[in-house]
């Protein structure tokens, strides 16, 4: 294949779109359907042409921030504070379409909106919401979320960072690992244990607060555009009005995490549908032994397996979103959806990579980037094993964590 053919094929493949075998579209409201089209067009027009380059360089594309703001998709289901409201299904569709193009941009949004803004929204007072949310909705101030610690990932409930009251301030000490956006964010929601009552509390730390330090985690081969950090809290003093007043224990943290598991489930479905569409188009065009590889039983079996998994993910996600909109979702439902979609999406990306043969490992054809990015989605917001343990405890009545 010449370079020109490869580029044309990659472009055509990347623009294959709209897999919807069981007519998911019919389950959307007109507003949700319009939102899907809006984000899809934006992703294909503005993001797809630039993501491989940024991914390879491991840099964040700051140029997209004003465009994301103008698209009015920053704020998911929150209302007020300059946010354009959407349903939980609509929020999911945004994650789906961003995931379909690129995991890093989707993850940036997941951290900024789903974790940082939602922490302020769900755990903050009215005054605290007014103080931070409007500028965050305009992407003028970027947020991050620091829960995980070097020694406490899956068992984040055992976090060791401390918060000690000192007059009208709190003094924060400890270390955090992995927060996305943290290298360059403006504000970061930090969870720490109150040394007086032992409860986990939330604090908004500003990037210039003395004692706060963030060092980029180098050498990642997944979500390369997202800048994750190792964080040091060395006697960081924050005024009491930066403690999010409705966070008074780990169950309050869990309220934030439930919504983001919905977003990760949808994003996983987006990665999977991209991989499937690329593999399908490639297989129809790639000639071996005198015919398209799509005309072989082995490749068709892979494509049908991918379609079956993608369709199941779409239905999982729509149902989860509707339950969220009805206020009827439980953390175990969100855990099941995150578990199913992330594990299946990684599998679909692997199958797609196989179908593309050698071309499957190049950035030009995108599937390897999706596969690499899926490795992080399987892990963050609670690993697949931890989601399985959460659901396992629910159905058996026996916790098997320890």
Ligand X SMILES: Cc1cc2nc3c(=O)[nH]c(=O)nc-3n(C[C@H](O)[C@H](O)[C@H](O)COP(=O)(O)OP(=O)(O)OC[C@H]3O[C@@H](n4cnc5c(N)ncnc54)[C@H](O)[C@@H]3O)c2cc1C
Nearer to ligand X among residue 284 and residue 379 (C-beta): 379
Supply the minimum distance, in Å, between the C-beta of residue 45 and ligand X.
27
Rounded to an integer, what distance in angstroms lies between the CA atom of residue 115 and that of residue 143? Answer: 8
Rounded to an integer, what distance in angstroms lies between the CA atom of residue 350 and that of residue 346? Answer: 6
Nearer to ligand X among residue 43 and residue 179 (C-beta): 179
Rounded to an integer, what distance in angstroms lies between the CA atom of residue 379 and that of residue 312? Answer: 21
- Residue 143 makes CB contacts below 8 A (sequence gap 6+) with 111, 112, 115, 116, 117, 120, 132, 136, 181, 185, 186, 187, 188, 189
Supply the minimum distance, in Å, between the C-beta of residue 335 and ligand X.
13
Unique residue bearing structure tokens 């309220």: 255
Supply the minimum distance, in Å, between the C-beta of residue 322 and ligand X.
26
Nearer to ligand X among residue 13 and residue 233 (C-beta): 233
Q: Which residue is nearest to ligand X (CB)?
A: 153
Contacts with ligand X, residue ranges (CB under 6 A): 111, 145-148, 153-154, 178-180, 223, 228, 376, 379-380, 382-383, 385-386, 389, 401
Supply the minimum distance, in Å, between the C-beta of residue 56 and ligand X.
17
Nearer to ligand X among residue 111 and residue 120 (C-beta): 111
User: In this structure, are residues 141 and 175 in contact, taking their beta carbons and an 8 Å threshold?
Assistant: no
Supply the minimum distance, in Å, between the C-beta of residue 17 and ligand X.
27
User: In this structure, are residues 341 and 311 in contact, taking their beta carbons and an 8 Å threshold?
Assistant: no
Nearer to ligand X among residue 24 and residue 144 (C-beta): 144
Radius of gyration of the chain from its Cα atoms, rounded to whole angstroms: 21
Supply the minimum distance, in Å, between the C-beta of residue 301 and ligand X.
30
The bridge status of strand 287-288 relative to strand 228-239 is unpaired
Nearer to ligand X among residue 323 and residue 384 (C-beta): 384
Supply the minimum distance, in Å, between the C-beta of residue 129 and ligand X.
21
Q: At what angle do helices 331-355 and 384-396 cross, to 10 degrees?
A: 140
Supply the minimum distance, in Å, between the C-beta of residue 222 and ligand X.
6
Nearer to ligand X among residue 91 and residue 148 (C-beta): 148
- Quickly list DSSP for 34-78: HHHHHHHHHIIIIIHHHHHHHHHHT---GGGHHHHHHTT-TTTT-
Nearer to ligand X among residue 186 and residue 305 (C-beta): 186
What backbone phi and psi angles, to 5 degrees, belong to 3?
-60, -40
């Amino acid at each position: 294949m010449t370079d020109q053919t490869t580029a044309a094929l990659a472009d055509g493949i990347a623009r294959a779109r709209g897999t919807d075998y069981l007519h998911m579209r019919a389950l959307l409201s007109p507003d949700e359907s319009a939102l899907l089209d809006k984000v899809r067009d934006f992703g294909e027009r503005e993001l797809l042409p630039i993501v491989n380059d940024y991914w390879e360089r491991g840099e964040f594309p700051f140029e997209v921030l004003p465009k994301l703001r103008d698209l009015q998709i920053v704020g998911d289901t929150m209302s007020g504070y300059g946010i354009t409201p959407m349903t939980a299904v609509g929020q999911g569709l945004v994650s789906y379409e961003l995931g379909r193009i690129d995991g890093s941009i989707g993850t940036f949004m997941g951290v900024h909106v789903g974790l940082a803004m939602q922490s302020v929204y769900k755990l903050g007072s009215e005054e605290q919401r007014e103080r931070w949310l409007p500028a965050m909705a305009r992407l003028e101030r970027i947020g991050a979320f620091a829960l995980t610690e070097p020694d406490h990932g899956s068992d984040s409930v055992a976090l060791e960072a401390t918060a000690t009251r000192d007059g009208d301030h709190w003094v924060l000490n400890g270390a955090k690992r992995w927060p996305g956006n943290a290298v360059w964010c403006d504000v970061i929601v930090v969870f720490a244990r109150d040394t007086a009552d032992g409860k986990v509390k939330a604090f908004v730390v500003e990037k210039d607060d003395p004692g706060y330090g963030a060092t980029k985690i180098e050498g990642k081969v997944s979500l390369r555009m997202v800048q994750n950090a190792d964080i040091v809290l060395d006697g960081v003093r924050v005024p009491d009005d930066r403690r999010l007043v409705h966070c008074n224990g780990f169950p309050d943290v869990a309220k934030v995490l439930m919504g983001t598991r919905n977003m990760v489930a949808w994003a996983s479905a987006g990665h999977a549908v991209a991989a499937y569409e690329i593999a399908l188009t490639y297989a129809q065009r790639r000639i071996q032994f005198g015919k398209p590889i799509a005309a072989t039983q082995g490749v068709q079996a892979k494509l049908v397996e991918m379609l079956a998994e993608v369709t199941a993910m779409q239905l999982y996600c729509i149902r989860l979103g509707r339950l969220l909109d009805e206020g009827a979702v439980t953390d175990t439902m969100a855990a099941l959806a995150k578990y199913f979609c992330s594990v299946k999406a990684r599998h679909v990306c692997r199958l797609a990579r196989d179908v593309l043969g050698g071309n499957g490992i190049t950035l030009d054809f995108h599937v390897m980037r999706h596969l690499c990015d899926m490795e992080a989605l399987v892990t963050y917001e609670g690993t697949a094993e931890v989601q399985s343990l959460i659901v396992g405890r629910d159905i058996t009545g026996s916790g098997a964590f320890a």
